[in-house]
């Protein structure tokens, strides 16, 4: 199977390349600000399946760059999905819990009403709608709180700050499932293989680490596993204002993913151990 991946240096894209023989396209090979070029790349490679692991992810910056965020997160996936539909090949698109309002305390189900609280979420929703509208075999995989040993993410930020300071104030009223990029990559590969065999599994699914946790408690576990003595003080979101509104409830109901694809929610604490080992090996 020839698997084409959009994205090369991002967290999930790097993990996909580490786990499978894929053709990964970076920005120099497939500019997501040019949706037609993305479709042309699919036609040129003529893959057996496509995974879109590329996105505009600067959540706060998107508040002032919603137009470009929408091209990258909405128009580009639309072009990819249409090309895949025309070629009758599966398309897996990674999305986010930010398409939901982020209120309440119940895990979001795939069919729940969407109401993005910020520009980033709106741009991702445009992409989701376009992927469905293309009418091809696809899986939209919503995930949350992505972390890895690569790039910029919460784990790496906490490790840096935890060595510099004795105490940190961390938001405790936002709850979700930290998800290792490596676990997302493995889920995408399993989903692609199953979609090829059974296109009826087309749909929207959720995938996140378990158990659900606050950012503050996530930080405590990072420090505990890393052997750092930094103290975490809980604060409300109101004490940490950001340009883009963050959801208080990022919990995702992943039961459909397990039922359809036999993919269970991974324990993020075990995944964190692997990430910390990888980071240590890099030094």
What is the reported pLDDT for 230?
98
Where does residue 145 fall: left (phi above 0), alpha (psi -120 to 50 degrees), or beta otherwise? left
Name the residue range of residue 31's domain: 3-282
Share of the chain above pLDDT 70, in %: 100
Strands 175-176 and 91-96, bridge-based pairing:
unpaired
CA quadruple 33, 206, 276, 166: dihedral positive or negative?
positive
Cα(207)–Cα(93) distance, integer angstroms: 12
HSE of 192, CA atoms in CB hemisphere, 13 A: 26
Q: Are 219 and 232 in contact (CB under 8 A)?
A: yes
How many domains is the chain partitioned into structurally?
1
**pLDDT reading at 197 higher than 80:** yes
What is the average pLDDT across 116-126? 98
What are the tens digits of pLDDT across the range 14-25? Answer: 999 999 999 999
Confidence band, pLDDT 50/70/90 cuts, at residue 47: very high
**pLDDT reading at 125 higher than 90:** yes
Q: Are 68 and 76 in contact (CB under 8 A)?
A: no
Q: Look up residue 112 and give its two tokens.
A: 């729940």
pTM (two decimals): 0.97
Closest CA to 108 of 163, 177, 53, 31: 177
What are the tens digits of pLDDT across the range 252-282? Answer: 999 999 999 999 999 999 999 999 999 999 8
Confidence band, pLDDT 50/70/90 cuts, at residue 242: very high
What is the reported pLDDT for 1?
79
Q: Are 86 and 41 in contact (CB under 8 A)?
A: no
What is the average pLDDT across 195-220? 98
Cα(141)–Cα(205) distance, integer angstroms: 5
What is the reported pLDDT for 24?
97
The number of helices, as runs of H, and strands, as runs of E, in the chain is: 10, 13
Residues forming the active site: 120
Cα(130)–Cα(81) distance, integer angstroms: 8
What is the average pLDDT across 103-112? 98
What are the tens digits of pLDDT across the range 135-192? Answer: 999 999 999 999 999 999 999 999 999 999 999 999 999 999 999 999 999 999 999 9
> How confident is the prediction for the chain on average, in pLDDT?
97
Q: Are 19 and 189 in contact (CB under 8 A)?
A: yes
Report helix, strand or coil for 181: helix
CATH number for the domain that contains residue 177? 3.40.50.720
Give the helix ranges, DSSP H, for 29-141. 35-45, 66-70, 76-87, 119-134
What is the reported pLDDT for 282?
86
What is the average pLDDT across 206-211? 98
Query: Which residue bears the tokens 């893959």?
Result: 47
Alpha-carbon separation of residue 259 from 43, 159, 186, 205, 263 (angstroms): 33, 36, 17, 11, 8
To 5 degrees, how large is the angle CA 178–CA 14–CA 140?
60
Share of the chain above pLDDT 90, in %: 98
What phi and psi, each to the nearest 5 degrees, are found at residue 267?
-75, 110
Query: Which residue bears the tokens 């959009």?
Result: 6
């Amino acid at each position: 199977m020839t698997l084409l991946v959009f994205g090369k240096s991002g967290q999930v894209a790097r993990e996909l390349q580490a786990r499978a023989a894929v053709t990964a396209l970076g920005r120099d090979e497939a500019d997501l600000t040019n949706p037609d070029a993305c479709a042309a790349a699919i036609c040129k490679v003529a893959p057996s399946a496509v995974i879109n692991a590329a996105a505009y992810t600067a959540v706060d910056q998107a508040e002032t760059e919603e137009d470009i965020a929408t091209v990258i997160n909405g128009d580009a996936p639309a072009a990819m999905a249409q090309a895949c539909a025309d070629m009758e090949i599966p398309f897996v698109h990674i999305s986010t819990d930010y398409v939901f309002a982020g209120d309440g305390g119940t895990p979001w189900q795939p069919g729940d009403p969407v109401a993005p609280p910020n520009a980033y979420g709106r741009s991702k929703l445009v992409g989701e709608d376009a992927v469905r509208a293309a009418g091809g075999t696809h899986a939209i995989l919503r995930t949350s709180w992505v972390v890895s040993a690569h790039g910029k993410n919460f784990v790496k930020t906490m490790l840096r700050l935890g060595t510099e300071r004795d105490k940190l104030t961390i938001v405790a009223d936002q709850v979700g499932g930290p998800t290792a990029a490596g676990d997302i990559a493995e889920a995408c590969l399993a989903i692609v293989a199953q979609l090829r065999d059974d296109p009826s599994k087309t749909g929207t699914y959720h995938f996140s680490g378990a158990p659900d946790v606050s950012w503050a408690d996530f930080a405590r576990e990072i420090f505990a596993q890393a052997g750092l003595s930094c103290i975490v003080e809980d604060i409300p979101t109101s004490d940490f204002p950001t340009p883009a509104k963050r959801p208080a409830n990022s919990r995702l109901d992943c039961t459909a993913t397990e039922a359809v694809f036999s993919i269970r929610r991974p324990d993020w604490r075990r995944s964190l151990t692997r990430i910390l080992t990888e980071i240590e090996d890099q030094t």
